[in-house]
Amino acid sequence: MNTQDTQDTQVSRRSMFSGGMTKAVAAAGVAMAATAVASEAKAQMAPSGIGDADILNFALNLEYLESEFYLRGVTGQGLDQAAGSSMGGQVRGGRQVSFSNPIHRSFLDDVARNELAHVIFLRTALGAGAVQRPTLDFNAGFAAVAQAAGLGAFDPFADEASFFMAAFLFEDVGVTAYKGAAPLLKSKKFLDAAAGIHAVEAYHAGCIRTVLYKMGAPAQETAGRISKVRDTLGGGDGHDQGIVRDGHANIVPADENSVAYGRTAQHVLNIVLANGSAGVTQGGFFPDGLNGKIQST
């Protein structure tokens, strides 16, 4: 490891685990903002139906997945260590990635901090109603997607390129999930919070697609395969797009009006459970299922 890499690693670890991360989140007003919408959760929650709080808990399940993925890949430690408390279920797989490009590592360190903040924000907003982290399995989840994409053995934590490819799988799903949920939210405060998180996920997705495009033809082709798997699992409507389209860079997957599309909760579940069938409640990245009311494809 060269001097620059050592310095970058030290800075990354200090920023994540010196206690400054959680303090910075609080200092930025996360706790105050979350408290402001906490009462809305109770008001919008219907005992016999799906309310705003249920939708945010569904989002929290996905944020747990993303946060654990980035934290483990960038820092080698998980959400419990970063947040300073136990978040719930077991996490299988994941380890620190050896980055060859310090700029890429710095970018993903920022993404990891964003995803940690999302988890803290949603848990605080939902209060006692926040679901715990479900059991997560990166080994089984990525193996299922890789097999469907014809990639053979795929280790997302093997190297920098593999980690970006795995991030591509998650980020586009996150963007479309928030887009799909927006029309269902009744509370303007919840909608504002969801729109803000959606924007952050879109920033992440655009940057990740750009990095992969710059990696050249092999990465572009692999991303295309993963996109096809997502599309097949998520309804097969042809909305999902790779990072090359009609011979041109395709950094922003959108329709002819450049409007991004959304996914239903069921189609999101089809992808993260790695099963395109109806009525599925577990598998893929969530071997024991998701926590909360929204669980079945």
- The residue among 37, 67, 28 whose CA lies nearest residue 195 is 37
Q: Are 273 and 280 within 8 A, CB to CB?
A: yes
What ranges do the domains of the chain cover? 3-272
* pLDDT tens-digit series, residues 1-25: 544 444 444 434 333 333 444 444 4
Average of per-residue pLDDT values in the chain: 87
Residue 19, sorted as left (phi over 0), alpha (psi -120 to 50) or beta, turns out to be left
Tokens for 143, please give them: 């193996």
Q: Distance of CA 157 to CAs 70, 93, 120, 173, Å?
A: 10, 9, 25, 19
The pLDDT of 109-130, averaged and rounded, is 97
**pLDDT of 45:** 41
Instruction: Indicate left, alpha or beta for 137 from its phi (over 0: left) and psi (-120 to 50: alpha).
Output: beta
Strand pairing class (244-245; 248-249): antiparallel
pLDDT digits (tens, 9 = 90+) for 32-64: 455 444 444 444 443 348 999 999 999 999 999
pTM of the model: 0.84
Q: Which residue has the higher pLDDT, 122 or 25?
A: 122
pLDDT for 236: 85
- Report pLDDT digits (tens) over 70-111: 999 999 999 999 999 999 999 999 999 999 999 999 999 999
What percentage of the chain reaches a pLDDT higher than 90?
81
pLDDT at position 156 is: 96
Percent of the chain surpassing pLDDT 70? 84
Residue 43, H or E segment: helix 30-44
Instruction: Label residue 237 by pLDDT band (50, 70, 90).
Output: confident
pLDDT in tens, 148-191: 999 988 999 999 999 999 999 999 999 999 999 999 999 999 99
pLDDT tier, 234 (very low <50, low <70, confident <90, very high otherwise)? confident
